[in-house]
Amino acid sequence: MFDLSMFDLVNLPPNMVTHFEPTDDFLGWFADHVAERFTIEVGAGQCKFSKALIQLGAKVLAVEPRPAPEVLKECSNFLLSLPIERVRIVRNPGIVVVVARPDHSGWFSDLADMVSPESELIYIGLEKNFDLDIPEHFRTDELYREAGLDGEVVLRVRRSDA
């Protein structure tokens, strides 16, 4: 097994990890789209997306299993430091669950299976990664293109039987 202990995985150089950088147009659209619904951003990373939505008046809870200490401190009033399997609130109906640029380790598939069919699951990512992240037993509807600086696409993700 490869030993990663020599690397500071939280503070990788910017060219090693790409985060979602939403455009202003998309932020406005998304805030209007979620309107008054409670929104949970799972895998919030540095919480940039959540912070921007909160500034626009959205009701957002961010979840990140391993936030950097400075992010945890800065976002403590809306950030939970929990692993995905402990985020049971996503099973509640009528909420919006959003994931932006997941790390392709498979947790999005687990999350998709957890989200209530009466809620809206939104995936934001690069088209080339759809097959890596979205389970085959789910269907998608495109909601928005060019959502971020890297040309991210926004999809609604639903079980095929829903």
Place of tokens 């380790």: 105
What is the pTM (predicted TM-score) of this model?
0.86
CA distance 94 to 101: 23
Strand, coil or helix: what is 102? Answer: coil
Structure tokens at 137: 């037993």
Nearest partner of 27 among 91, 98, 76, 75, judged by Cα: 98
Write down the CATH number for the domain with range 21-159: 3.40.50.150
Q: For the chain, 162 residues long, give each residue's pLDDT as a single digit of tens.
A: 334 444 444 554 444 456 899 999 999 999 999 999 999 999 999 999 999 999 999 999 999 999 999 999 999 999 999 988 888 889 999 999 999 999 888 889 989 999 999 999 999 999 999 999 998 899 999 999 999 999 999 999 998 875
**In the chain, what are the domain boundaries?**
21-159
